[in-house]
A and B are shown apart, each in its own frame.
Chain A
């Protein structure tokens, strides 16, 4: 017997039996089985005994005996299904009472949760908006877009578009397709209103059946016929108002620059959010007509580039998209047989479009990744708020412990206590939802400003649906914050809590709380440092010596005005120092690149170019290192180029002087010789390294006049220039200072500073409030100790220090974790994207650390001093 004692009962049948019995008294049954098991061990093999045990457990589980006991237990003890409503009411009453009892902490918790949830609400609202795009499309489940994957061995690119001829082949070859609609993207007409004004619109070309597939509603016109004839267009309600200030505009004729006359055949009611973005739609057969008139590049018959046409198919009800995809794949692979490219058509459901990230998207999509990042950030600020609740709740465990103990003694079970505590947190988080929605309303406006104009036309309205989601989110947050303390409370031992040995089990709690504080302050530190680093980058970029003069240069778009007339007009003015002409503005993305080769060689070089006049280099104070500037180009014939140093190097020449007089072939046949070499300057934003570049001298390419001003009163000078402009042109005068223009190109930095600043502010608010709560409760807990120490002669500073040092240690740990982490994050990832960047210096780190410590010291100091200054008599007299 003694040998076999070591053999245990089979584990899971025992556990399962115990679980099944629940709270019903069944220990005698379990005992009977165990006794039988050990008896059986004498008679049979352990395996058989175990088997028998399991069978016994099973027969008991199905027996009347056990189930009867369970039923009786339920009748006696009233499980949740009996008195639930009364219990809920009691729980919520107690929850409100305990919230009201701890006003400071409740307010801190509500603020933290409101702030923490606000970003989550924003992310959810964006998610809801993205997922409800195209909700109004009645045929959405049947509509698929044919996207194209092009794999040229080097890289795979996914295009939203596909080859135009595929549409007709699908109509012939594939079965089960109800409609195939072809759409082409770049119908971006400039509608000529009067000889000098044109209104640009954005839109598509689309086939006649566009309106039978997509549920856009026409206010005017016949949806079946509107896009039937070439040169007919349908415009949206708002475009109609923009053009005519009216919406009954059927039959009106629009003059479109470079494309001819179009007749309006319909007006579309302004529609809810869609992945399409258009103000005007022209009939698809217009493309063929325009191709014939050679007004646009022919693409209709080309299988070649898959970038110009979009194909949507609407399937019959029971048709699987895979079948059509198969047919499309076969057609494409036949077409591209023997080529290096792998071109694969892929069917994409209409509802999947807004979340996808494809090249060449027809309208706008939000993308899956950015949504993920957004949710990540939301969780990053939500978690600290939940942590706060957790450690505030645990800090108050002692005050609640007696209540819990009493509840347990009078029959409360662990799960009841757990449920009560979680419900308390959920009530708190639902109250916080009010604050969170208020913050959400405020940041929504800022957010909408920040996202690229018109992207999916977010509105982020709070609909009943979004509100339900918000409420669920609040409940989820409540659960997240409350689960840990609730689990802790529900496990309290009633005897210990009632016996007044309140110190027991404190150790583990304290280390958890310390961990939470460190985590929060690490996060805050990451954000503070992030702001400091990005702000430094921004300052660096603004002050960077780009290699040309950017102050006091006014760029005026020519808008077709003759450059010579404008030049003479401007040069007459006293405030104008000099005038030059250029094709683009340096420092942003507008420089174009071409391929250039020396006459005797075959391999060519990619070079960025800019067309300027003889004054430009002087005007912008770009330094010439060799040769000379362009001569005054009187006959308009292009002969020379002025190259930069990088060009000299890339062309394989040893020094700038060697380059002078060398010829290069540009634009297929034009031979230009180098007349000068300029020092490298940043013609592209700082993100890019300086590349090969040259200036050319072709007056027909000029787009801007660059006017150097020297003026006491800029306002007056500008209005003078505008007056002279109005003499020579009916177009509206526009101008922009070069330095403003360059600052505007740094807008991404600015929004990054804003985002980081905002998130940082949130994280810091939450962590500081959390710290405040912890310090308050710690100080309260040590009130008596402090008073006694004071009696024995400790000074206020002594006391404040002994209270604070524990917290300061935690903050130091947080800083030590956060600093290297942030440094690596920014140095290795974010800043890698920028070629000319400021290094992260000691100053930023020092400033951030100082800032954090100041904040922390203010918080800790205010509380500890309060406690240290207290009169010992007040705290001790009630002893």
Chain B
């Protein structure tokens, strides 16, 4: 396993995957905020993205000029192969743990 993936990092990686071709700063932030119902700061988000880039789980490219945002370009993010395998690793780990659980994790509602 290639390095530890934190909870928020996993969330960001999965959100990028969910958004597909439209994963850039604002859309990621909004998606997480809607899904998880918590407000996140843009600074924290970009810090996490930067760390994920450092680890090689994400790559980015600049999009074309936009009409809104004062003509500024968007930076789009994509999962790398490393990112995908990190997500796999964490899911395998989790599944493994679920399977081996001696307590019945079913909520039985």
Contacts and interface: CB of A to CB of B under 8 A. Distances in A.
A59 B44 contact: yes
Interface stretch (A29-37, A172-180, A237-245): A29-37
Nearest to B75: A28
A64 B66 CA distance: 26
Interface string B7-51: 000000000000000001110010000000000011111111111
A29 B70 contact: no
Q: Which secondary structure dominates where chain A touches chain B?
A: helix
Interface in B30-86: 41-51, 54, 62, 66, 68-70, 72-75
Contacts of B75: 28
A485 to B, nearest CB: 33
Interface residues of B, number: 25
Contacts of A55: 41
Nearest to A58: B43
A63 B49 CA distance: 11
Q: Which secondary structure dominates where chain B touches chain A?
A: helix
Interface in A43-64: 55-56, 58-64
A36 B26 contact: yes
Nearest to A25: B62
Interface stretch (A65-73, A422-430, A456-464, A509-517): A65-73
Contact of B24 (A27, A30, A32): A32
A452 B70 CA distance: 70
A695 interface: no
A31 B66 contact: yes
Given A28-B24, A65-B49, A65-B50, A33 B42 contact: yes
A29 B43 CA distance: 9
Contact of B44 (A32, A34, A61, A63): A63
A231 interface: no
Interface string A161-188: 0000000000000000000000000000
B72 A27 contact: yes
A683 interface: no
A36 B69 CA distance: 9
Interface in A532-579: none
A28 B73 contact: yes
A32 B23 CA distance: 12
B26 to A, nearest CB: 5
Contacts of B48: 65
A65 B46 contact: yes
A38 interface: yes
Nearest to B49: A65
Contact of A28 (B44, B45, B54, B74): B74
Contacts of B74: 28, 31-32
A712 B68 CA distance: 105
B69 A31 contact: yes
A68 B50 CA distance: 7
Nearest to A34: B69
Contacts of B43: 56, 58-63, 65-66
Contacts of B41: 55-56, 59
Contacts of B29: 32, 36
A410 B36 CA distance: 47
A38 B44 contact: no
Q: How large is the interface on A (under 10, 10 to 19, 20 to 34, 35 or more residues)?
A: 20 to 34
A64 B47 CA distance: 5
Contact of B72 (A30, A64, A69): A30
Contacts of A35: 26, 68-69
Contacts of A29: 25, 42, 46
A31 B62 contact: no
Given A32-B24, A35-B26, A36-B42, A64 B69 contact: no
A63 B46 contact: yes
Contacts of B70: 30-31, 34
Contacts of A68: 50, 54
Nearest to B63: A28
Which residue among B26, B46, B49, B66 has the maximum number of chain A CB atoms within 10 Å of its CB? Answer: B46
Given A27-B73, A56-B43, A59-B44, A38 B25 contact: no
Contacts of A34: 68-70, 72
B23 to A, nearest CB: 12
A35 B70 CA distance: 9
A581 B46 CA distance: 104
Which residue among A36, A65, A69 has the maximum number of chain B CB atoms within 10 Å of its CB? Answer: A65
A649 B70 CA distance: 88
A41 B49 CA distance: 26
A821 B42 CA distance: 64
A68 B70 CA distance: 24
A66 B69 contact: no
Contact of A69 (B24, B45, B50, B73): B50
Nearest to B50: A65
Contacts of B47: 63-65
A59 B45 CA distance: 10
Which residue among B42, B47, B74 has the maximum number of chain A CB atoms within 10 Å of its CB? Answer: B42
A30 B75 CA distance: 11
A350 to B, nearest CB: 59
Contacts of A63: 43-44, 46-47, 50
Contacts of B25: 28-29, 31-32
Given A32-B29, A65-B43, 15 more contacts: A27-B73, A28-B72, A29-B25, A30-B72, A31-B70, A31-B73, A34-B70, A36-B42, A39-B26, A59-B43, A61-B43, A63-B50, A65-B49, A66-B46, A68-B54
- State the 8 A-B residue pairs at the shortest beta-carbon distance, nearest first: A59-B43, A65-B46, A31-B72, A28-B75, A32-B25, A63-B43, A31-B69, A64-B47
Interface of A: 27-36, 38-39, 55-56, 58-66, 68-69
9 contacts: A27-B73, A28-B25, A31-B73, A32-B69, A36-B42, A56-B42, A61-B43, A64-B50, A66-B46
